[in-house]
Amino acid sequence: MIKPIGADELKPLFVYDTDEHAALTKEAEGLPSVVISSAAAGNAVMMGGGYFTPLTGYMNVADAMGCAENMKTTDGKFFPVPVLNLVEDASEVQGAARIALRDPNVDGNPVIAIQTVEAIEEVSDAQMATMTDKVYRTDDMEHPGVAAFNSVGRFAISGPIQVLNFSYFITDFPDTFRTAVEIRNEISEHGWNKVVAFQTRNPMHLAHEELCHMAMERLGCDGLVIHMLLGKLKPGDIPADVRDAAIRKMVEVYFPPNSAMVTGYGFDMLYAGPREAVLHAYFRQNMGATHFIIGRDHAGVGDYYGAFDAQTIFDDEVPAGAMEIEMFMADHTAWSKKLNKVVMMREVDDHEKDDFVLLSGTKVREMLGNGEAPPKEFSRPEVAKILIDYYSNL
């Protein structure tokens, strides 16, 4: 199986030993604590599950700046984005050697991790501006990722962590949430050697389904991991449980047995376009995928990124040899009225726009909200029914 990045084996930061877990839980009761941001909690979940191997905790400012500017920490480790624990007020934990990190997304703010504090640094306006510009390629506060990153505080608490739980993901999505460790184990159990991963934060329409079939066939893959984001999205996005139901139904009906896994991970969407595409590829290698589908405007939002920026970054900016996982670079896929099948649009040069079945997100939501299924050339009827039921109850 493909190796994790920067390590011979995964390094999950979740404390699996029951005695050690109990001792740390007891220790946390007497430690100074801070309620961390949703983004930091998501990072803890990802580190806990081994997705961010070989990171051992939250970065200091120098490492975060290095990752923002050239995708490398000060000691040369490759990582495509800063992983920070930023808080508004660090006075309650100032001077403490170890602190309890409390989850903002669960009632009562239970302890999600214990952190050994190596430094508490105030991030300057210039440093925040640089990280924002490099990661998001814009400083527009209308960009949801920019707004989130710049709203959580300026005090960076760095140091290794020991993760005690996986937040709400394991309770709200018990059938879907998986750590990188678990996905690697399942891939081995399936006997898959070549595995392609597909990222989604939306239900999968027919074009997405066919793109996965296309990638599997062309790459000669024996397995597909549909890996959906379960964390916080922007307003208007379809909730994770609805997406989960729709995707599972699609796989059940339209994929052969033992060919596709439906899984999810706990993380808040950055909407960082190209940089987030690299991050997505990074942790897909760590979970055992050999290939990863990068589509048009991958992880983008609005008009902040060019249609293929998330593909060209792998050739233009990612350090050579940083990752082993290979990219399947995809164009927009849509139903061709001429060929009566889903095609990759760049591969049919004899087509005009009107030769494709294309519906805007707004139009699809309007149809579903009116109880009307999109055409079968756009969405499977079984998937459409689940979405219609969701919209009818809004």
Q: What does 369-389 look like in DSSP terms, one character per residue? A: HTT-PPPTTTS-HHHHHHHHH
Q: Is omega for the bond preceding 54 within 30 degrees of 0, making it cis?
A: yes
Min mean pLDDT across 133-137, 159-163, 363-367 is at 363-367
Q: Which ranges constitute the DSSP H helices of 235-308?
A: 240-254, 274-286
Contact 144, 39 (CB under 8 A): no
Q: 217 pLDDT band (50/70/90 cuts)?
A: very high
The DSSP code sequence of 167-222 is TTHHHH-TTTB--HHHHHHHHHHHT-SSEEEEEESS---HHHHHHHHHHHHHHT-S
* pLDDT tier at 233, thresholds 50, 70, 90: low
pLDDT digits (tens, 9 = 90+) for 357-388: 999 888 998 999 999 999 999 999 999 999 99
pLDDT above 80 (res 236): no
List the alpha helices (DSSP H) in the chain. 18-29, 38-48, 61-70, 125-136, 144-149, 169-172, 180-190, 206-219, 240-254, 274-286, 309-316, 361-369, 381-392
Residue 223, strand partner residues: 195
| Per-residue pLDDT at 237 exceeds 80 | no
The catalytic residue positions are 201-202
Residues 233-263: b if buried by 16+ CB within 10 A, e if exposed: beeeebebeebbbbbbbbbeebbeeebbbbb
Q: What is the pLDDT of residues 239-255, one digit of tens each?
A: 888 999 999 999 999 99
Distance CA 376, CA 389 (A): 17
Structure confidence at residue 202 (pLDDT): 85
Residue 119 has a pLDDT of 98
Q: pLDDT at position 375, please?
A: 95
pTM over 0.85: yes
Question: pLDDT tens, 309-357?
Answer: 999 999 999 999 999 999 999 999 999 999 999 999 999 999 999 999 9
Q: What tokens does 379 get?
A: 């969405």
Domains of the chain: 18-170 (3.10.400.10), 175-392 (3.40.50.620)
Ranking 37-46, 94-103, 229-238 by mean pLDDT, the lowest is 229-238
* CB neighbour list of residue 328: distance below 8 Å, 6 or more residues apart: 196, 215, 218, 219, 291, 292, 293, 294
